[in-house]
Amino acid sequence: QVQLVESGGGLVQAGGSLRLSCAASGRTFSSYAVAWFRQAPGKAREFVAAISWSVGNTNYADSVKGRFIISRDNAKNTVYLQMNSLKPEDTAGYYCAAKYSYSAFLSVFAREYDYWGQGTQVTVSS
């Protein structure tokens, strides 16, 4: 069992930056794929970025490519999402998710992830 706890959300002006953290407890991330999803009010949950812990490859949604960076810290068993050049349309609840995987393949579908955090709110003002 993996427990995920997100932190780092908040209110920021357009063009600003935030760094979200996803800390795991219960198990190490060493054999997991970890992803960030987001959900705005009235909208479906959408894929943001993912990283394969064992292989190290990453995948990004087109809407955040070039602005967001997903990374991992082995020692802290934590995944980060560095968000730069934020836009009002990035406003959403951001959720960390994980699935057991040794593959380099990174799913963009929320239904394929088994473990979820409680979410952290990101609000970008114009």
Q: What is the pLDDT of residues 33-74, one digit of tens each?
A: 999 999 999 999 999 999 998 888 999 999 999 999 999 998
- In terms of Cα–Cα distance, which of 60, 64, 58 is closest to 85? 64
Dihedral sign of CA atoms 55, 78, 10, 108 in order: positive
pLDDT of residue 114: 94
pLDDT of residue 2: 86
Torsion of CA 115, 116, 117, 120, to 10 degrees: 160
Q: Is the pLDDT confidence value at 4 over 80?
A: yes
Q: What's the CA gap between 13 and 5, in Å, rounded?
A: 25
- In terms of Cα–Cα distance, which of 74, 10, 72 is closest to 36? 72
DSSP 3-state assignment of 19? strand
Give the pLDDT band of residue 105 (cuts 50, 70, 90). Answer: confident
Q: Per residue in 80-94, pLDDT tens?
A: 999 999 999 999 999
